Amino acid sequence: MARMKPPYRGVSILLATFVVGVTCVGQAARAQTAAPSDDAQVLVKQGQKLNSEGKQDEALKLYKRALETSPNSYEAHLESGVALDLKGDYAAAREHLKKAIEVAPPDQKNRALRVMAFSYAFENNSAEAEKYEKQVFDALMAKSDFEAAAGVANELARIKLESGDIDGAANWYRTGYETAVRKTDMKDADKNLWAFRWAHAQARIAARREQRDARRNRLPQRKRHSTKRTIRTRHSSSRI
């Protein structure tokens, strides 16, 4: 399968940054969660190192061996999905990510859902990404973990923005800010930080809308110029 490149560079950077976080969280999670097999655990750890070095094919070989040992290994399925996403093989990645969500320990399910969301972000499909991020947001809201939920809302807003859904981004940035300030014991420094994030988000949204409107305004002008050239050409031809 040919490797696909995401049209928006911002999404690539965002996903790559998130993948690093996934790897780090995964290492911590394995220290707390019993792995189905010590051999599979070692293979996954080795694969993560190779994946972080850009050696996705080599990493995938190790993940495959891990799954042969432990077919329901959450980490092996998750990391396979991450590596395949980085290769641009999104359909194959999502098969592994679906399995990772299915077999994830309760404290790791949100992580798997977020990775799936970013898989769709790679293709700028923010509508599908929203389905998975929204599950994480709702789960955190159910636990009244407002600040964490706000972080997920902002994460989704960034996906929306980089995918071209400016209005969707604006809605989720607003949701992020309004959710964060629901935390009753938030320190003043944190309140100021969220206020700054909200102001910065509004500025980015305004800038993107101006760019969008400018592009739309240029289209009629191009059509008019094209029409004038056509009329002049026809007029010149009729005189010959």
Annotate 88-141 with DSSP letters as a single string: T-HHHHHHHHHHHHHH--GGGHHHHHHHHHHHHHTTT-HHHHHHHHHHHHHHHH
Q: pLDDT at residue 171 above 70?
A: yes
**Token pair in block for residue 67:** 């799954």
Residue given tokens 């789960």 in the structure block: 139
34: pLDDT confidence band, cut at 50, 70 and 90?
A: very low
In this prediction, residue 120 carries a pLDDT of 96
Write the single-letter amino acid at 137: F
Dump pLDDT digits (tens) for 65-100: 999 999 999 999 999 999 999 999 999 999 999 999
In this prediction, residue 226 carries a pLDDT of 57
Q: Name the residue with higher pLDDT: 22 or 209.
A: 209
Q: How far is CA 224 from CA 115, 210, 230, in A?
A: 46, 22, 10
Q: pLDDT at residue 47 above 50?
A: yes
